[in-house]
A and B are shown apart, each in its own frame.
Chain A
Amino acid sequence: MASVERMQELLIIDTPTSPVTSGLPLLFVITVTAIKQGYEDWLRHKADNAINQYPVHFIQHGKLVRKQSRKLRVGDIVMVKEDETFPCDLIFLSSSRGDGTCFVTTTSLDGESSHKTYYAVQDTKAFHNEQEIDALHATIECEQPQPDLYKFVGRINVYHDRNEPTARSMNVFLIVYLCILISKALINTVLKYVWQSEPFRDEPWYNQKTEPERKRNLFLRAFTDFLAFMVLFNYIIPVSMYVTVEMQKFLGSYFLTWDEEMFDEDTGLGPLVNTSDLNEELGQIEYVFTDKTGTLTENNMEFIECCIEGHVYVPHVICNGQILHDCTGIDMIDSSPGGSGKEREELFFRALCLCHTVQVKDDDSVDGLRKSQLSKRSCIYISSSPDEVALVEGIQRLGYTYLRLKDNFMEILNRENNIEKFELLEVLSFDSVRRRMSVIVKSSTGDIFLFCKGADSSIFPRVKEGKIEQVRSRVERNAVEGLRTLCVAYKKLTAEEYSNVQKLLQNAKLALQDRDKKLAEVYEKIERDFILLGATAVEDRLQEKAADTIEALQKAGIKVWVLTGDKMETAAATCYACKLFRRNTQILELTTKKIEEQSLHDVLFDLSKTVLRHNGSLTRDTFSGLSTDMQDYGLIIDGAALSLIMKPRQDGSSGNYRELFLEICRNCSAVLCCRMAPLQKAQIVKLIKLSKEHPITLAIGDGANDVSMILEAHVGIGIIGKEGRQAARNSDYAIPKFKHLKKMLLVHGHFYYVRISELVQYFFYKTLYDTAYLTLYNISFTSLPILFYGLMEQHVSADTLKREPSLYRDVAKNALLRWRAFIYWTFLGVFDAAVFFFGAYLLLDNTVVTSNGQVFGNWTFGTVVFTVLVFTVTLKLALDTHYWTWINHFVIWGSLVFYIIFSLLWGGIIWPFLNYQRMYYVFMQMLSSGPAWLGIILLITVSLLPDVLKKVLCRELWPTATERIQTRALLHHCLESREKLGSLAKYLRQQHEWGAECIEALSGAHLRIHTSCLSEKPKIQEQRLQQFPSKKV
């Protein structure tokens, strides 16, 4: 019976909502969405235009023509000037250099900023002017684009559809509601006909049908009834939610761009938001794929120090971050070495000056930026290894300048400005197995030296003399700090020894078989019995707070993968430096080298055994990095190994390796992939993205080589860095520095996610009256507060979020939009609806509630229900709001006031343009009734009760980490304020003292931190530390 009555009740509401009131919100939704999307597209369009209009020099009909890059066609001949970027894939026909070579950096492709020499096609090398080039007739056949950068390069600009999980679950919820809607309409239609089966019910004498209605076909009638119910109940699917969600996303994204902490002072750039659709995804990231060079590091090698026999030398330019112009040569930190030391020192510097493969670019052919920035001398260095450049430049700052290699003579300008010449006899070039290189030179005095530099592990065993212990400790110390260290050693060869060596080398070089092997053997023979000179430390400067960020991300339960094109050693060092791998991390290697030793199959199985055996006994929390005593695993894999894994096997069981690999990866807290081609990066991202759990992935990178993975991942973040803006342009968000990722994910992501999930659920929850009310209900009475809630809510403070990355796990995995929550909200909605309806029903059933005995009609009934509804829904939101700014106050209370004013107005006047006046005076009449007031208060209390109860109980019994933090913050706050009062006087006194100290500290060149300062003012002390970084000793 109740349901029948209810249906009847709803039937009145219906008046099948006029097309205007139903259509208006829809139109509104579409317009708002269209405007928003259009605006974002326009921004993209502008960016695209900038690229498309980039000028390119073509050779056309024998003339040089300047055109926009978008007019570039296959087969065009392009001229690229120095320091220009290639506009497309090119084949090198000819260069301005006589020998047909050019130096190319592939920074924008693989992140390596080193110069590589390329040779022009032999047949076209001789073409030098436009006419000659124009006469060229040729066809080029080439491979289809390939994943491996080092073989050939494919087109990577493929867009993939993004699928947002929030939208996904939102849409799933919508589908559920749609099903509910349809079944509700069906059930109601059936009930209607059951109820109407008795003719007096269907058509009592007092309420007859019109003629056409009566004549209508039964099925047609049933169908229209069904549709009418659909229209009636369509409010269960909140149309205005889309508007609100869109608005929330759009406006919310501004907070990101407005964030001061994400603004980079150096570059003057703030974060860019290219799409606002993904804001909430930032709160759900499970995997972060990051590029190394330029993302984790600044891609700027810097010579930090050298250590000669335990004495540390620091070049003057970067002396603890301060530029000390008055310092002359070097800053000697330890006492000056004695006589023999002096000699060693000289040798060391010469060794560094000589033992490299750096080429010097002459001044006259250069006028790039680099020169003016980096070297004040008139030459710049080019090398395939940026470390070498850094070393040579560092030595230059220490007084020894490598001038050039001329006719096999290396020229050095020493500290006394004299040119020393060394004859270069042999170069024992670098390889990654030996991890060292040597040169044999003959000084002008006729002495023959062998200088060797290499990784500590490859040098120390070959040293017979020198202060090994001091150097080793220094090297280790530097390595811990994330510096790339190289050891330098030498040995003096007699003429006789040299001729021996020469012979050996000659033989090996001439060998037809196993030449490499023989050479290696010879090198092995030659490079021994060194005298250790010292060590160098070069820093590929990590970006500010990169380690801090990575640590925070790992604590937040996010797995960080580093994908880089760099060499394994370099990459691994960086990973240690940025705390991706920690001291206790057990490194698993899956590299080509290892695969050569064992079969891929064995390696994989071994690894998985190691990982799984350990993990079997542990909970899945292993990755969290929660407890440091737990064994972490770090996996290193290189590009070649990866392509082996990814390659489908002949027998078609390729999934096998992939699965195994995934399994291993999942159990490692950190993964480092080196020697990756851009497409391989994307492959990895895809592999993870499509794995069983469908985790949300984020890719961050700065160069064009990262674009593929940025596009592949759910969320792509570009660093607006040195390697151009390609990544930034193709990304969803662009940030100036890697460190901003922390705030972006942990604070903004968290907020966005909490906000949007609350918003969506709230929308599903609020679902009921008079057509105008009905429309306004969703749009204005209740949307505005949640919108602002959606913009303002900060359930915990931003600082706390940054401090406690583990909170991120509370929201990860779409936790807030899961079914339990969804069912809870739906249940709450149903409960509240029942309370509203039956409460009002019992209140007004067959009775009179006015003091003058007059009766209420159905509109009053509706108004009571609606008032209770509006108040409940708004107060529910108020209960959920943890962060009350004046805007929240304004909007929440304002919407209630607005509701009352609107109701008064709506009922207060006979609206001349309306043909019904049913709401006239209903609201005022209701307000004149005491029981109506009491009833409304009662019903609101009852509807809010379960939610309050649930909140409190959950907080008491099963608090989440977030809630604990909130509670603690509250307690802390209380204590603090109490303490503050008590210690105010004391504090003021200290303030005074401290101020004096600060002035002292500021005026003095040296920093001494007073202990009292330390303990009393931790925050300001921190600031001071930033101003005066303490010296490294």
Chain B
Amino acid sequence: MRSVSGAEGGGGAMAVNYSAKEEADGHPSGGVGVPGGGAGGGGAGGAVKTRKPDNTAFKQQRLPAWQPILTAGTVLPAFFIIGLIFIPIGIGIFVTSNNIREYEIDYTGTEPSSPCNKCLNVSWDSTPPCTCTINFTLEHSFESNVFMYYGLSNFYQNHRRYVKSRDDSQLNGDNSSLLNPSKECEPYRTNEDKPIAPCGAIANSMFNDTLELYRIDNDTRTPITLIKKGIAWWTDKNVKFRNPTGDGNNLTALFQGTTKPVNWPKPVYMLDSEPDNNGFINEDFIVWMRTAALPTFRKLYRLIERKNNLQPTLQAGNYSLEIAYNYPVHSFDGRKRMILSTISWMGGKNPFLGIAYITVGSICFFLGVVLLIIHHKYGNRNTSADIPN
């Protein structure tokens, strides 16, 4: 019995008992609860100094701060201003976009009536190439410089496997990559034990139709000069893409030991006759290598420069488009187009942006009005209402 009563006093947990006198053995935080306790005060005072947190604005979370609040008062003008800015911009864009001349011809040849229908099932290696001619009429003349595009549809240049399938260092003129292309290029990496230059699916599937434009004026066909330089990004042409380096400038020698992509009729060093547009720095090639984001895309093919100020670049009238039809798209339900377009400061025809700006501007304006009404109806109640205690 007594042992129980004895134990009572020492109760508590094994681990919970040593607390009270900790201060006694020189614990740094000693002197608890002895304010001004004589001799110990000095030492404790020193300890206090060091432990006291700094009174800095940062540590006390009292940094000077700007405290904006989103209220109807501040947002309303913003809405109106956005509305007022966006609508004119939208109208401007819309008008500009509408002033752009654009003419598009689908020359896939799926319809039996189309002149290109005969070439529909063309394959890569058909020689001589299947050619077809499509006549068209421009109702309006194209005043400024005209850009000639080819467009493909249902072509997934953004496919993961496809996008990766290239070797940038090979294209940048790296000699070791030239002979040993990246694995990403598989299955277009080697052919017959020779490395492919340029390797990969993108290069392999390069667009190889040839488009020529003739103006038909009283049965005379005058060819229109198509400029093939300046269609690729300057940086691509001059920095990112480079031919391999070595002795001399003979591309044939530099590409020694490599083989052409499987689908190409000619090797890469025979893309063009001009040396600054041949090999990897051929602009058609570079344009193709910049893969499109969407399955329907267009790529710049040629430029038509305005000759003089007296005549428009392309007068209204009859034209014919001569196509060397090499590129098969029928197998994947693709379409091929040729697009002629003028360009403004904002690029080609794009009604979306203008419409979107007008819409968003109007919505903002409308919301501004709605908010104004709401603010008038409820706002007063709000500010005067008492905060619950």
Contacts and interface: CB of A to CB of B under 8 A. Distances in A.
A846 B350 CA distance: 9
A704 B294 contact: no
B21 A85 contact: yes
Contact of A858 (B9, B158, B350): B158
Contact of B8 (A118, A703, A884): A118
A852 interface: yes
Given A267-B32, A856-B293, A121 B160 contact: no
B207 to A, nearest CB: 10
B8 A153 contact: yes
Given A268-B29, A268-B52, A156 B35 contact: no
Given A152-B11, A720-B32, A257 B20 contact: no
B2 to A, nearest CB: 5
Given A847-B349, A938-B356, A707 B383 contact: no
Interface string B254-283: 000000000100000000000000000000
A260 B53 contact: yes
Interface string B1-37: 0111111111111111111111011010101111101
Contacts of B162: 206-207
A119 B387 contact: no
A175 interface: no
27 contacts: A5-B294, A50-B22, A83-B21, A83-B24, A92-B7, A108-B19, A142-B7, A200-B332, A205-B263, A206-B155, A209-B187, A269-B29, A721-B33, A843-B353, A844-B294, A846-B297, A850-B343, A853-B341, A853-B347, A854-B232, A855-B298, A858-B292, A921-B236, A941-B86, A941-B360, A948-B70, A953-B374
Interface string A928-943: 0111001100100110
B67 interface: yes
Contacts of A86: 9-10, 12, 17
Contacts of B175: none
A89 B8 CA distance: 8
A951 B10 contact: no
Nearest to B331: A200
A814 B1 CA distance: 52
A186 B35 CA distance: 69
B16 A858 contact: no
Interface string A1-21: 000010011011011000000
A104 B33 CA distance: 21
B382 A886 contact: no
A917 B168 contact: yes
A839 B357 CA distance: 12
Contacts of A369: 34
B383 A967 contact: yes
A882 interface: yes
Interface in A102-157: 102, 104, 106-109, 116, 118-122, 140, 142-143, 149-157
Interface string B281-293: 0000001001111
Contact of B4 (A142, A924, A968): A142
A85 B367 contact: no
Contacts of B253: none
Contacts of A885: 63-65
Given A157-B15, A204-B332, A858-B292, A91 B70 contact: no
Interface string B30-63: 0111110110000011011001111100011111
A985 interface: no
A143 B8 CA distance: 12
A846 B201 contact: no
B16 A846 contact: no
Contacts of A154: 13
A704 B13 CA distance: 9
A920 interface: yes
A222 interface: no
Given A206-B201, A967-B71, A854 B187 contact: no
A373 B37 contact: yes
Interface in A926-976: 929-931, 934-935, 938, 941-942, 945, 948-949, 951-953, 955-957, 959, 961, 964-971
B158 A11 contact: yes
A205 B328 contact: yes
A407 B77 CA distance: 93
A894 to B, nearest CB: 16
A93 B69 CA distance: 71
A920 B51 contact: no
B163 to A, nearest CB: 5
A841 interface: yes
Interface residues of B, number: 141
B65 A883 contact: yes
A152 B9 contact: no
Given A8-B156, A153-B12, A792-B61, 19 more contacts: A84-B21, A85-B21, A88-B10, A89-B11, A210-B186, A259-B53, A626-B388, A626-B389, A846-B296, A847-B298, A847-B347, A847-B348, A848-B343, A848-B347, A854-B233, A856-B290, A916-B166, A917-B240, A934-B93
Contacts of B356: 839, 842, 938
Contact of A938 (B59, B357, B367): B357
Contacts of A1010: none
Interface stretch (A301-309, A507-515, A722-730): A722-730
A85 B389 contact: no
Chain A CB within 10 Å, residue with most, of B303, B347, B356: B347
Contacts of B341: 848, 853
A89 B65 contact: no
A935 B298 contact: no
A597 interface: no
B7 A152 contact: yes
B379 interface: yes
Contacts of A879: 70
A258 B53 contact: yes
A318 to B, nearest CB: 13
A941 B300 contact: no
A54 B18 contact: yes
Interface string B231-242: 111011001100
Contact of A724 (B22, B47, B155): B22
Contacts of A857: 290-293
Contacts of A120: 6
B333 interface: yes
Contacts of A153: 7-8, 11-13
Given A85-B19, A930-B346, A373 B34 contact: yes
Contacts of A85: 17-21
B344 interface: yes
B5 A956 contact: no
Contacts of A106: 9, 11
Interface string A195-219: 0000011001111111100000000
A879 B29 CA distance: 45
B168 A956 contact: no
B319 interface: no
A82 B261 CA distance: 96
Interface string B207-236: 000000000000000000000001111011
A704 B347 contact: no
A589 interface: no
Given A121-B3, A206-B205, A844-B294, A855 B9 contact: no
Nearest to A298: B33
B151 interface: yes
B352 A108 contact: no
A69 interface: yes
B65 A884 contact: yes
Given A89-B11, A108-B17, A910-B239, A207 B205 contact: yes
B164 interface: yes
Interface string B376-389: 00110011010111
A817 B297 CA distance: 44
